[in-house]
């Protein structure tokens, strides 16, 4: 394990119940590793995956890495205490290499088995920090992870109408923050579930959100798992 000083204890006795995927937005993996392990940076992640598929373990899984910052998912407001963070070396504009995705799938499989994390709780940084972060971005292959049972993919509910209020209710039930403007949540949702879509809310967005809410939604006021 690389020497990374940027971590602490998980607060309140929390255990990981989420996985948050990021991209580094840096020139290369060496630069990202140096930054994540720099005490002055005050950021870190549990794992860093290079373009070639090399996995560096930077912070022990039982510890709290500093990767998510301000944000929330469902009732969880301290995402760092409840998650494992994975950084993928990528500038944010490049496709993710096959070797990197292969390594990510193997890494995710082990993490999810060790901590009993279901696929619907593998999220992007953009999901828990909408409007502030966009990683892992529009080029990340969420569908591939879903095919391997390592994430979820929405299937549209037939006959769903374009209803902004229902759309926001469904997003809040899925886990998206209720304290963020609707257009910001729409953009974050599309980054994950309708990549490339633009413009105002459509019935296609509502149909996908309805499916996820029906299958995985919870009462927004319920205690966090």
Q: Of these residues, 61, 87, 105, 183, which one is catalytic?
A: 87
Peptide bond into 136 cis (omega under 30): yes
What is the distance between the alpha carbons of residues 130 and 66, in angstroms, rounded to a whole number?
Answer: 18
Place of tokens 């209720």: 178
| CA–centroid distance for 5 within its chain | 23
Look at residue 106 and give its three-state secondary structure. helix
Share in percent of the chain as helix, strand, coil (round to 5): 35, 15, 50
Catalytic residue status for 42: no
Q: Is 34 exposed, middle or buried (0-12, 13-18, 19+ CB in 10 A)?
A: exposed
First to last CA, the chain: 29
Max CA distance (Å), the chain: 53
Catalytically annotated residues = 87
């Amino acid at each position: 394990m690389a020497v990374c000083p940027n971590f602490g204890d998980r607060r309140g006795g929390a255990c990981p119940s989420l996985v948050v995927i990021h991209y580094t937005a840096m020139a290369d993996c060496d630069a990202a590793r140096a930054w994540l392990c720099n005490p002055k940076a005050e950021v870190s992640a549990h794992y860093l995956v290079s373009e070639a598929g090399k996995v560096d373990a930077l912070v022990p899984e039982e510890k709290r890495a500093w990767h998510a910052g301000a944000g929330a998912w469902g009732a969880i407001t301290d995402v760092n205490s409840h998650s494992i963070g994975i950084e993928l070396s990528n500038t944010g504009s490049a496709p993710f290499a096959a070797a990197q995705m292969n390594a990510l799938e193997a890494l995710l499989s082990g993490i999810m088995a060790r901590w009993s994390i279901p696929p619907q709780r593998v999220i992007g940084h953009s999901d828990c920090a909408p409007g502030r972060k966009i990683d892992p971005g529009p080029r990340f292959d969420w569908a591939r992870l879903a095919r391997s049972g390592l994430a979820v993919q929405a299937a549209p509910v037939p006959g769903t109408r374009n209803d902004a209020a229902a759309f926001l209710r469904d997003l809040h039930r899925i886990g998206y923050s209720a304290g963020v403007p609707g257009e910001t949540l729409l953009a974050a949702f599309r980054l994950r579930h309708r990549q490339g879509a633009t413009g105002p809310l459509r019935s296609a967005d509502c149909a996908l959100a309805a499916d996820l809410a029906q299958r995985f939604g919870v009462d927004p006021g319920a205690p966090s798992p």
